Amino acid sequence: MGFAVWIDAENGLAWAQGTHEYRPMGSAVIASTDQFRHRDFRSRRRPPAHLRHSFVGFFGSLEEVNVKLLQHKSPGEWRRRATPAHLL
């Protein structure tokens, strides 16, 4: 299991998409100052297209994502880049 994460700095949101080869979790959206939980994920939810250049990376667990969210107090502190093609 892994998680792709986007930061919507303009709206103060964090998006995550569970990436698993056999059983996708879907996506979740929270305030960038909050923490992700497994129950936040919905299989039909997708990160919006306007976040194409707001990708911040892949993480191995929700715990790892949540630690990074705690370390980056402001959404503007993240280094954002283009979303990898296989996630579009």
Query: Per-residue pLDDT tens for 23-82?
Result: 668 999 999 989 999 999 998 888 898 999 999 999 999 999 999 999 876 767 788 889
Residue position matching structure tokens 């700095």: 9
Inter-CA distances, 33 with 7, 71, 86, Å: 11, 10, 28
Query: Of 7, 3, 1, which Cα lies nearest the Cα of 81?
Result: 7
The residue behind tokens 């909050």 is: 34
**Per-residue confidence (pLDDT) for residue 23, from 0 to 100:** 65
pTM more than 0.85: yes
Site of tokens 């992700």: 36
CA–CA separation, 11 and 43 (whole Å): 22
**Hunting for tokens 């949540």 — which residue is that?**
66
Strands 13-19 and 26-31: antiparallel
- Give the domain ranges of the chain: 2-87
